[in-house]
Amino acid sequence: MSVVSDAATVGGRPHEPVAPATKRPHHWGRIALPAYSWLVIAYLVFPIVVMFVYSFNKSVGGVPQVSFSWNGFTTLWYRTWNDAPGLTSAFWLSIRLALIATAISTVLGTLLAMALVRYRPRQFHGKGVIEQILFVNIAAPEIVMGASLLGLFVTFNIGRGFITLVLAHVMFCIAYVAVTVRARLTGFDRSLEEASYDLGAGPFTTFRRVTLPMIMPGVLAGALMAFALSIDDFVTSNFVSGTSSPFPVLIYASTRVGIPPQVFVFGSVIFAVGIALALSSLAIGRKRI
Amino acid sequence: MMSDNTRNDATSGGIDPALWRGLTQPRLSRRQALGVAGGGLAAGLLFDAAAASGASLPNANVGSPSWWKKQKLHHTVNFANWPLYIDTLKGKYPTLDHFTKTTKIKVNYFQVIDDNTSFYAKIRPSLAAGQYTGYDIVVMTNNNPPLGYLIELGWLIPLDHSMMPNFSKYAGPLVKSPAWDRGNKYTMAWQSGWTSVAYNSKQVKNPGDSVQLLFNKKYAGRIGMLSDPFELGSVGLLALGIEPASSTEKEWAKAAKLLQKQKSDGLVAAYYDQSYIQHLKNGDVWISQAYSGDIYQANLSAKYKDLVLMIPKEGLMMWTDNMCIPLYAQNPKDAMTLMDYYYSPVTQSVVEYYNDYICPVPGAKQQLLRPTSWNKQALASLKPEIGLPYTATANSPLVFPSGREQKLTKTYYQFKNQAEIDAWTSLFLPIIQGA
Amino acid sequence: MPAVVWLVVLFVVPLVIMLSLSLKTCNPASGACTMTWNWGELPRQVNLYRTEFFTSLEYGAAATIVDLILSFPIAYWIAFYGGRKKNFFLMMLLVPFFVSFVIRTLVWEFILSPSGFFLTFLRHAHLVSANFHVLGTGSAVIAGLAYNYLPFTALPLYVALERIDRRVLEAAYDLYASRREAFMRVILPLSVPGIFAAFLLTFIPAFGDYVNQQILGGTSSTMIGTVIQNTFLVTGDYAAGSALSVVVLVISLIGIWLYSRVLGSRSIEEYL
């Protein structure tokens, strides 16, 4: 969810005009509160530092497994990042899966959001029911969704693999995309579309030239959220993956027999790339404002 | 989906598989309902299930000589095995590499089996759906129900005995036509082993020679037990001085009570699958139920020299892991070639030098003492890593068992029907899973 | 609408199937399930695993409360005093999400392990006793849950606090409210919907979680998620697993229903 809420704020959610705080922050507001906040931030960052440090830890007796104790510094795991059996291919599988799930769920979720905003309950039967489904879908525990999907596939004898992963991932992304896009559509000015029709544009041209550019920030935020949800999903994937394991499922499975040290290399690199992208988007966002 | 349905159609004589399910399942459910109501009446369930699925067996011809004749080599084979179960050198597998070099068959080796039941739960939906599980060879243990299920349900491809020259020549008496698969119709053993107790001699002084060590309050929170209900229950029986093979349901209940108490007293750190060995190595667990070969392999590294395998006076549980070919396997001929390759004493000598489980090929002992072929070089390259003379393995009673170990060897209870399995699991599974 | 079809076929229908599976009897060999209208399975499973249900409720609630206490001040600080660095601070709250969920839980195992360098260091500094161990206990699970779900609490709180109209606050001060009174009688009441949303969005996933328990917990801390995972993926007993899942779903639905009764089902989207 995360990255997206962030993006949503960066893009500028319609807020009340923020009046400057009338009173200067109280003394605890000046010292204790920031100090506390930085402490919480340190707590959030600490495990990531630990991960980074352990990615340079030597292994015991030449067995390529991470060990809890510190055995000395090595860059071996960065040089042999591709050597952990199955890890790299699981990573690419996760990327492929996330891209496909994001593409499908963004299109479907956006269309759903538009329908929900445009039609009144009287024109659109079952609108209330659909809204309830979206809400429950977002709030329901993942283990129930994963378990029930497994029940579905087993009942209809559907073999599990990449296809079932895509089906499941799109399912849990749609609601998030729809809700994110709808939040942006609520203030949408329909008279612009009407003007476009008046000027002789067809429905397709109107959508492409008028509607889409206006809802684009919302669609992007939705897509980002879908991507983040899909790439990090473990619980549902673990139930529906069969023999093709995405990245988180493979790592979880490897905890039973010893984690290859390259896991922390992947973790550190993905973290660095993610943070770099987020920081640059922050910088760009600030410039635009 | 489509293609699988059509495959099913074609093979079961053009009848819709859904219809088959409709025809076969009510019989099951009636028996099951009776079983639930009347306890012992469910006895025939396992055989019923077999009959049911036998009727809808996708291809009754699979595994027949004519079927085998039609199979071709695809020069690839997907092999699912337990972790740390094959000769390994710097992330490579010497015996597999040699196999690929000489036969041009590429082996994808997956160390994915941590536990029989969970692996079975993983492949079962594919088999039920009439699909390739992703593996051409799987390795299942004789002390757990899944191997029996696979055989009874017709989910294994009968082996091609014309492709087993090494097996017929070199297989030892322990694995030739065993009780669980007469005539080796479906399986060839990979390795056998013992389940015993291991401890860290640095942390555990005066361990004694009894499984009672697992119930010593002094080590509360430092004791690991196996999450396999059949291993767990068996050690409970041993602790009570009961012979597992001839035990009764009443005695199972006693053992369950003992193990439940062990848990509620806070003695057990956790119930582990194959991962127990990590916890022993990490030092957060000091004593654990353990498989013989794992401890030997851990000892190869100087850091884990303190781990000791106990030979308890109550006995050692012996099991055998069996290679078999699941139905719908895509490369059965390649699988047969690989399985028989492991029955050459030359191959086994390399595997055993690393593995230290009970060897299915007695002739491997001579090959360890006097290597005659490519194993000379393979063994030499493993030697710096292992740091033991070949004679140590060749004379190890854990690899080529001697009198004392054979005398202490116990076998698991042989279940007669599904009701007994249910009775056993309903006693021991709740201890592992909670409550 | 294809999206609705997708959700119905892959979300609603599976839940219905799960309900029906919980009334079936499954063959342990073939995995085939037949309808036996076995109404007894649900109460039997609940009774068998009631300890795990309570453990899950307890850990879920504890982690959520820890998160609320941890994140309210920081959300307040960012919303009111974040100034131009707001987005930067929000990103810092989200930092854990840039590392995969399973990996960050694993890292906690490393931090809490008695042989890991963190506890070794604390032992050498005599900050903890030689026998101190937390890995494998309920506290470790709660710590892991609290860490993993903290952003789910902090963000809704931030959104709620951010939306408070500063003019209302100003009016309070104009009416000679002290800071304390302004906080207690303006800010806190106005952030209640956010606290509600934060509670819902943190408690439900924490309640159903099993990864933290599996990696950080021990036998005395088994949560219901672990049991469900095991019945489905280890023992392959779909009927028992479905019965347990139905109970988890019902507990969650009660929370969801309460929330939407009080605040409306659409309001959740403002906090995502």
The whole-number pLDDT of residue A18 equals 46
- pLDDT of C52 higher than 60: yes
| Position with higher pLDDT, B8 vs B77 | B77
- In three-state form (DSSP H/G/I as H, E/B as E, the rest C), the secondary structure along C231-253 is HHHCCCCHHHHHHHHHHHHHHHH
Q: Do B329 and B416 share a domain, yes or no?
A: no
- Residue pair B369/B390 in contact (Cβ under 8 Å)? The answer is yes
Q: Do B178 and B203 share a domain, yes or no?
A: no
H/E stretch holding A227 reads: helix A212-231
Based on the structure, what is the number of domains in chain C?
Answer: 1
- pLDDT of C193 higher than 60: yes
Which chain B residue has its CA at the smallest distance from C237's CA? B121
Q: Do B97 and B140 share a domain, yes or no?
A: yes
Q: What is the mean pLDDT of residues C86-95?
A: 87
Over the stretch B340-358, which tens digit does the pLDDT of each residue have?
999 999 999 999 998 889 9
The whole-number pLDDT of residue B168 equals 96
Closest CA to A184 of A220, A159, A210: A220
Q: Do B305 and B350 share a domain, yes or no?
A: no
- pLDDT of A271 higher than 70: yes
Give me the CATH number covering residue B251. Answer: 3.40.190.10
Cα separation, C161 vs C165, whole angstroms: 9
The one-letter amino acid code at C262 reads V
Q: Which residue in the set C34, C133, C236 is minimally distant from B121, CB to CB?
A: C236
Instruction: State how far Cα B121 lies from the chain centre.
Output: 15
Closest CA to C142 of C240, C70, C93: C70
What residues contact B368, with CB distance under 8 A and at least 6 apart? B349, B352, B353, B379, B390, B391, B393, B394
Closest CA to B209 of B114, B108, B69, B311: B311
Q: Do B413 and B282 share a domain, yes or no?
A: yes
Answer whether 0.90 is exceeded by the pTM.
no
Measured CA distances, B123 to A189, A234, B21, B157, C31 (Å): 54, 19, 19, 15, 11
Most confident of A182-196, B62-76, B109-123: B62-76
Q: Per the structure block, which two tokens stand in for A121?
A: 């309950």
- Residue pair B360/B139 in contact (Cβ under 8 Å)? The answer is no
Please report all neighbours of B, defined by 3+ CB atom pairs within 8 A.
A, C
Over the stretch B76-95, which tens digit does the pLDDT of each residue have?
999 999 988 999 887 789 99
The whole-number pLDDT of residue B11 equals 34
- pLDDT of C205 higher than 90: yes
Alpha-carbon gap: A41 to the closest alpha carbon of chain C (Å): 6
Least confident among A212-226, B48-62, B137-151, B367-381: B48-62
- CATH T-level assignment (fold) for domain A85-259: MetI-like fold (1.10.3720)
Q: Which residue in the set C70, C87, C99 is minimally distant from A9, CB to CB?
A: C87
Q: Per the structure block, which two tokens stand in for B353?
A: 């030098």
- pLDDT of B4 higher than 50: no
Cα separation, B66 vs C253, whole angstroms: 58
The whole-number pLDDT of residue B18 equals 35
- Confidence class for position C184, pLDDT limits 50, 70, 90: confident
Contact list, B79 vs chain A (CB under 8 Å): none
The whole-number pLDDT of residue B204 equals 93
CA dihedral of residues A212, A214, A218, A221 (deg, nearest 10): 80
Averaged pLDDT of chain A: 83
- pLDDT of A258 higher than 90: no
Q: Is residue B404 part of a domain?
A: no
Burial of B128-148, coded b for 16+ CB within 10 Å and e otherwise, reads bbbbbbbbbbbbbbbbbbbbb
Q: Is residue C29 part of a domain?
A: no
The whole-number pLDDT of residue B133 equals 92
Please report all neighbours of A, defined by 3+ CB atom pairs within 8 A.
B, C
A283 three-class SS: helix
- pLDDT of A4 higher than 50: no
- Confidence class for position B3, pLDDT limits 50, 70, 90: very low
Angle between helices C238-263 and A127-139 (to 10 degrees): 120
A31 reaches C (C-beta below 8 A): no
The whole-number pLDDT of residue C265 equals 67
Cα separation, C226 vs C217, whole angstroms: 11
Closest CA to B19 of B50, B55, B47, B59: B55
Closest CA to C267 of C159, C183, C149: C159
Contact A68 C116 (CB under 8 A): yes
Give me the CATH number covering residue C186. Answer: 1.10.3720.10
The one-letter amino acid code at B410 reads K
Cα separation, C47 vs C44, whole angstroms: 5
Beta bridge partners of C265: none
Phi and psi angles of residue C52, each rounded to the nearest 5 degrees, phi first: -65, -35
For chain A, what is the total number of helices (H) and then of strands (E)? 14, 0
Q: Which of C100, C133, C204, C266 is the best residue to mutate to test the A interface, defined by the most A CB atoms within 10 Å of its own CB?
A: C100
The whole-number pLDDT of residue B20 equals 33
Phi and psi angles of residue A10, each rounded to the nearest 5 degrees, phi first: -60, -45
The whole-number pLDDT of residue A27 equals 59
- Residue pair C22/C239 in contact (Cβ under 8 Å)? The answer is yes
Q: Is residue B384 part of a domain?
A: yes
C132 reaches B (C-beta below 8 A): no
| Domain residue spans of chain A | 24-84+262-289, 85-259
Most confident of A18-27, A72-81, A92-101, A132-141: A92-101
Q: What is the mean pLDDT of residues C159-179?
A: 86
Q: Which of C20, C26, C34 is the best residue to mutate to test the B interface, defined by the most B CB atoms within 10 Å of its own CB?
A: C34
Q: Is residue B263 part of a domain?
A: yes
- Confidence class for position B187, pLDDT limits 50, 70, 90: very high
Q: Per the structure block, which two tokens stand in for B2?
A: 């489509």
Cα separation, B194 vs B235, whole angstroms: 12
Q: Is residue C266 part of a domain?
A: yes
Beta-carbon count within 10 A of A82 CB: 9
Over the stretch C220-260, which tens digit does the pLDDT of each residue have?
778 999 999 989 988 888 999 999 999 999 999 998 898 88
- Confidence class for position C117, pLDDT limits 50, 70, 90: confident
Alpha-carbon gap: A195 to the closest alpha carbon of chain B (Å): 48
A11 reaches C (C-beta below 8 A): no
H/E stretch holding B405 reads: helix B403-408
Cα separation, A20 vs A25, whole angstroms: 11
| Position with higher pLDDT, A289 vs C164 | C164
Q: What is the mean pLDDT of residues C12-34?
A: 91
The whole-number pLDDT of residue B100 equals 97
Q: Is residue C198 part of a domain?
A: yes
The whole-number pLDDT of residue A234 equals 95
- Confidence class for position A102, pLDDT limits 50, 70, 90: very high
Over the stretch B415-432, which tens digit does the pLDDT of each residue have?
888 899 989 998 998 888
Q: Is residue C30 part of a domain?
A: no
The whole-number pLDDT of residue A285 equals 63
- pLDDT of A14 higher than 60: no
Closest CA to A169 of A97, A249, A219, A113: A97
What residues contact A199, with CB distance under 8 A and at least 6 apart? none
Alpha-carbon gap: A156 to the closest alpha carbon of chain B (Å): 8
Q: Is residue C247 part of a domain?
A: yes
Contact A62 B300 (CB under 8 A): no
- Confidence class for position C128, pLDDT limits 50, 70, 90: confident
Which chain B residue has its CA at the smallest distance from C112's CA? B284
Phi and psi angles of residue A171, each rounded to the nearest 5 degrees, phi first: -55, -50
ipTM: 0.90
- pLDDT of B43 higher than 70: no
Phi and psi angles of residue C259, each rounded to the nearest 5 degrees, phi first: -60, -50
The whole-number pLDDT of residue B221 equals 87
Cα separation, B122 vs A149, whole angstroms: 15
- Confidence class for position A272, pLDDT limits 50, 70, 90: very high
- In three-state form (DSSP H/G/I as H, E/B as E, the rest C), the secondary structure along C6-33 is HHHHHHHHHHHHHHHHCCEEECCCCCCE
Averaged pLDDT of chain C: 89
Over the stretch A31-67, which tens digit does the pLDDT of each residue have?
888 899 999 999 999 999 999 999 999 887 667 788 8
Q: Do B186 and B324 share a domain, yes or no?
A: yes
Closest CA to B226 of B134, B310, B288: B288
Alpha-carbon gap: C134 to the closest alpha carbon of chain A (Å): 15
The whole-number pLDDT of residue B95 equals 96
Pairing mode, strands B187-200 and C33-35:
unpaired
- pLDDT of A22 higher than 70: no
The whole-number pLDDT of residue A8 equals 38
Domain encompassing residue B350: 65-192+319-393
Which chain A residue has its CA at the smallest distance from B386's CA? A61
Averaged pLDDT of chain B: 84
Q: Per the structure block, which two tokens stand in for C122?
A: 């604390």
Domain encompassing residue C55: 49-271
Q: Do B164 and B38 share a domain, yes or no?
A: no
Beta-carbon count within 10 A of A213 CB: 9
Q: Per the structure block, which two tokens stand in for C119?
A: 């506890």
Contact C3 A148 (CB under 8 A): no
Over the stretch B318-337, which tens digit does the pLDDT of each residue have?
999 999 999 999 999 999 99
Closest CA to A80 of A69, A88, A72: A88
Residue whose entry in the numeric block shows the structure tokens 């699979």? B62
Beta-carbon count within 10 A of A202 CB: 10
- Residue pair B117/C235 in contact (Cβ under 8 Å)? The answer is yes
Q: Do B204 and B289 share a domain, yes or no?
A: yes
- pLDDT of B363 higher than 80: yes
Beta strands in chain A (DSSP E): none
- pLDDT of A12 higher than 90: no
- Residue pair A101/A173 in contact (Cβ under 8 Å)? The answer is yes
Over the stretch B368-397, which tens digit does the pLDDT of each residue have?
999 999 999 999 999 988 888 899 899 888
Closest CA to A53 of A72, A79, A38, A81: A72
Q: Which residue in the set A64, A253, A255 is minimally distant from B91, CB to CB?
A: A64
Q: Is residue C91 part of a domain?
A: yes
Alpha-carbon gap: A3 to the closest alpha carbon of chain C (Å): 7
Contact list, B422 vs chain C (CB under 8 Å): 28
Q: Per the structure block, which two tokens stand in for B296?
A: 């030997």
The whole-number pLDDT of residue A124 equals 73
C229 reaches A (C-beta below 8 A): yes
Q: Is residue C217 part of a domain?
A: yes
Contact list, A111 vs chain C (CB under 8 Å): 1-3
Over the stretch B255-301, which tens digit does the pLDDT of each residue have?
999 999 999 998 998 898 888 998 898 888 999 999 988 888 888 77
Beta-carbon count within 10 A of A274 CB: 18
Cα separation, C70 vs A41, whole angstroms: 11
Which chain C residue has its CA at the smallest distance from A2's CA? C94
Q: Do B413 and B347 share a domain, yes or no?
A: no
| Position with higher pLDDT, B306 vs C219 | B306
Pairing mode, strands B223-226 and B307-310:
unpaired
Based on the structure, what is the number of domains in chain B?
Answer: 3
